[in-house]
């Protein structure tokens, strides 16, 4: 199963880039994985957030195959333990899906259409983090999930 992460925005902070790069490197031995960065649309007026999210949503949806399993990262999504997340990935993999897609929206969230396309909605935490942290946390948890599933020692 291939994993694709669709994320709005570029990571600017070098410490985050380094962490993401490290976990992507580690993940290569478990599955093919790629990150597709999309340029978020600048919101100049708070009244245009909904329309902007819809425009971004169209870009996101154009990158998702009809038969892909989609997990969106959303504030109101389900929270899982690392073991529960590993089991979710295992469940998707065993279902025969060829591609698992994670979607990380902009700091304003995701469009309704993207959220409706999700097969599963995931919340990383009830805590608030800098938006750019979501990508690092996600790739680390994907790596941890594979280590758990393989019975390897990374997870304690």
pLDDT at 132: 87
Split at pLDDT 50, 70, 90, the class of 49 is: confident
pLDDT at 156: 67
Helix/strand/coil percentages in the chain, nearest 5? 45, 20, 35
Interval 95-145: pLDDT, tens: 999 999 999 998 888 999 999 999 999 999 988 888 789 999 999 999 999
Q: What is the CATH number of domain 2-149?
A: 3.40.1280.10
Percent of the chain with pLDDT over 90: 82
Which pTM does this prediction carry? 0.95
CA distance 86 to 80: 9
**pLDDT higher at 80 or 47:** 80
- The pair of structure tokens assigned to 137 is 């946390």
pLDDT at 48: 81
Helix (H) or strand (E) holding 72: strand 69-78
pLDDT at 131: 79
3-state secondary structure of 144: helix
CA distance 104 to 95: 23
Instruction: Give domain limits for the chain.
Output: 2-149
Percent of the chain with pLDDT over 70: 99
Determine if residue 24 is left, alpha or beta; phi over 0 gives left, psi from -120 to 50 gives alpha, anything else beta.
Answer: alpha
Q: How much is the average pLDDT of 46-74?
A: 93
CA distance 30 to 44: 42
């Amino acid at each position: 199963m291939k994993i694709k992460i669709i994320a709005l925005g570029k990571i600017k902070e070098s410490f985050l880039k380094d962490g993401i790069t490290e976990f992507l490197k580690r993940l290569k031995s478990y599955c093919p994985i790629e990150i597709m960065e999309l340029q978020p649309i600048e919101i100049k007026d708070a009244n245009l957030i909904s329309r902007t999210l819809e425009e971004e949503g169209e870009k996101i949806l154009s990158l998702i195959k009809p038969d892909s399993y989609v997990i969106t990262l959303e504030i109101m999504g389900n929270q899982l333990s690392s073991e529960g997340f590993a089991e979710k990935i295992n469940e998707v993999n065993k279902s025969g899906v060829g591609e698992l897609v994670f979607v990380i929206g902009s700091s304003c969230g995701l469009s309704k259409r993207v959220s409706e396309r999700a097969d599963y909605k995931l919340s990383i935490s009830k805590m608030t983090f800098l938006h750019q942290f979501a990508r690092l946390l996600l790739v680390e948890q994907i790596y941890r999930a594979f280590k758990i599933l393989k019975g390897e020692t990374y997870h304690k």
